[in-house]
Amino acid sequence: MEHSQEPSAPGAVPTEIPELPRTDPEILAVGALRARVIQTCSGVLVDLEEALDACLIALLVGGHVLLEGPPGVAKTLLVRTLATTLGGSFGRIQFTPDLMPADVTGTSIFRPNEGAFRFSNGPIFAQYLLCDEINRAPAKTQAALLEAMQEGQVTADGVAHRLPEPFCVFATQNPIEQEGTYPLPEAQLDRFLFKVLIGYPREAAEVELLKQSQGVRLSSAPAERGIGTVSSPEELLRLRQAVLNVRVREDLPAYLVQLLRATRSDRSFVLGASPRAGVTLLAAAKARAALQGRDFVTPDDIKAVFVPGLRHRVVIDPAEELEGGSSDAALRRVLDSVPVPR
């Protein structure tokens, strides 16, 4: 039996349901990547989800990460585990006072059978490069990273050698022991998208860590602990394009500029944030939105990347530092002082 439709009311205008905008599948793929990485790494890394998010943001925008924390809080393990889950090549350089630039970038070696010099790649030619205790090498060696981090290449004997893509530097340093170290200059610090502080885990997380460590060799690699590969360099490069397509509201660039200018006028700082810092922060906010499965940026995205993206780029007034102040606290005051757009 056929069912007849009820007649519309006289004079009624048919109502069309507007089609809701659909999220780009590639944006959803970014969020799915985050979920896979977090779930896989949780078998080894405890209470480090925030640091993992910062590293993923850097990878999605082509940035680099400086990890700072006391010894034994899994800075190195974090990078090794993340590199294992993402696939691709991993390299590690232990920075020491006698490390030379050629030990990082590589050098030209004479080949008798060819009768000529040929460049031999150094450990920097890896997609995920861990620079352990970067502040223990002299400035000349630290500077060997500058071209690689900015241009994605190494120049030797006048010839440019491209680094593999994606290329990301994860550098670690110990904030406690300063004897025999060489503080990173401002130009070097500015090459890092984020400075991530890694402290001691919460009590419950530390208990879970000890439970997980039973029956595992102390020197075991992430793969030996059951960490598998859940992505690939090709997928990461593809998802970078998706991040570029994340939408930014018209009022958000002005909001970010107000935050940047506040750091330049605030007496707590002797050096405020640069325009380049604003460019990198906006890119990081877009990546954070994509990791959350959104194709648009919110003020919360900007606020989330503001402190880790600027704590190494601003210089706090020494007088305030003597009184117990910190760049983090001053940056949070800036966030509180600038009205958030609705």
pLDDT band for 325, please (50, 70, 90 cuts).
confident
Find tokens 């009205």 and name the residue.
339
Kindly report, residue by residue over 218-240, the tens digit of the pLDDT.
778 888 888 999 999 999 999 99
Residue 233 and residue 294 share a domain = no
pLDDT band for 169, please (50, 70, 90 cuts).
very high
pTM value?
0.89
Are 299 and 339 in contact by the 8 Å Cβ rule? The answer is: no
Whether 7 is covered by a domain: the verdict is no
Kindly report, residue by residue over 30-72, the tens digit of the pLDDT.
999 999 999 999 889 999 999 999 999 999 999 999 999 999 9
pLDDT band for 23, please (50, 70, 90 cuts).
low
Name residue 195's beta-bridge partners.
66
Residue 253 and residue 193 share a domain = no
Residue 327 and residue 179 share a domain = no
Residue 311: exposure state from Cβ atoms within 10 A (0-12, 13-18, ≥19): buried
Q: What angle do CA 102, 151, 101 make, to 5 degrees?
A: 10
Share of the chain above pLDDT 70, in %: 93
CA distance 127 to 90: 6
Whether 251 is covered by a domain: the verdict is yes
Residue 222 and residue 263 share a domain = no
Mean pLDDT, all residues of the chain: 90
Name residue 171's beta-bridge partners.
66, 131
pLDDT band for 14, please (50, 70, 90 cuts).
very low
**DSSP readout, 235-281?**
HHHHHHHHHHT-B--TTHHHHHHHHHHHHHH-TTEEE---HHHHHHH
Kindly tell me if the per-residue pLDDT of 10 is higher than 80.
Answer: no
Are 40 and 228 in contact by the 8 Å Cβ rule? The answer is: yes
Mean pLDDT across the stretch 152-170? 93
Residue 256 and residue 203 share a domain = no
Tokens of 2: 């056929």
Q: Pick the range with the lowest mean pLDDT from 38-47, 85-94, 114-123.
A: 114-123
pLDDT band for 15, please (50, 70, 90 cuts).
very low
Domain end residue (candidates: 244, 263, 292)? 244
Mean pLDDT across the stretch 74-103? 94
Q: What is the pLDDT of residue 225?
A: 85
Whether 18 is covered by a domain: the verdict is no
Kindly tell me if the per-residue pLDDT of 20 is higher than 60.
Answer: no
CA distance 212 to 244: 38
pLDDT band for 250, please (50, 70, 90 cuts).
very high
Mean pLDDT across the stretch 137-145? 90
Residue 236 and residue 259 share a domain = no
Q: Which residue has the higher pLDDT, 25 or 259?
A: 259
Q: What is the pLDDT of residue 167?
A: 96
Q: Which residue has the higher pLDDT, 5 or 124?
A: 124
Q: What is the pLDDT of residue 13?
A: 44
Phi-psi region for residue 158, left (φ > 0), alpha (ψ -120 to 50) or beta?
A: left
Q: Which residue has the higher pLDDT, 151 or 117?
A: 151
Instruction: Output DSSP code: residue 192.
Output: -
Residue 228 and residue 296 share a domain = no
Domain end residue (candidates: 220, 244, 268)? 244
Residue 261 and residue 128 share a domain = no
Q: What is the pLDDT of residue 17?
A: 42
Instruction: Output DSSP code: residue 198.
Output: -
CA distance 123 to 90: 9
Whether 12 is covered by a domain: the verdict is no
CA distance 280 to 309: 8
Residue 74 and residue 61 share a domain = yes
Whether 19 is covered by a domain: the verdict is no
Whether 289 is covered by a domain: the verdict is yes
What is the tally of structural domains in the chain?
Answer: 2
**DSSP readout, 315-328?**
EE-HHHHHTT--HH
Whether 121 is covered by a domain: the verdict is yes
Name residue 154's beta-bridge partners.
161
Residues 6+ apart with CB under 8 A from 261: 272
In terms of residue numbers, what domain contains 128? 25-244
Domain end residue (candidates: 227, 244, 261)? 244
Q: Which of 53, 71, 69 is nearest to 61 (CA)?
A: 53
Residue 64 and residue 159 share a domain = yes
Residue 254 and residue 211 share a domain = no
Residue 305 and residue 160 share a domain = no
CA distance to 62, 121, 152, 244, 275, per residue, from 107 (Å) = 26, 7, 17, 36, 36
Please report, for the domain that includes residue 331, its CATH number. 1.10.8.80
Please report, for the domain that includes residue 158, its CATH number. 3.40.50.300
Let me know how long the chain is. 342
Whether 287 is covered by a domain: the verdict is yes
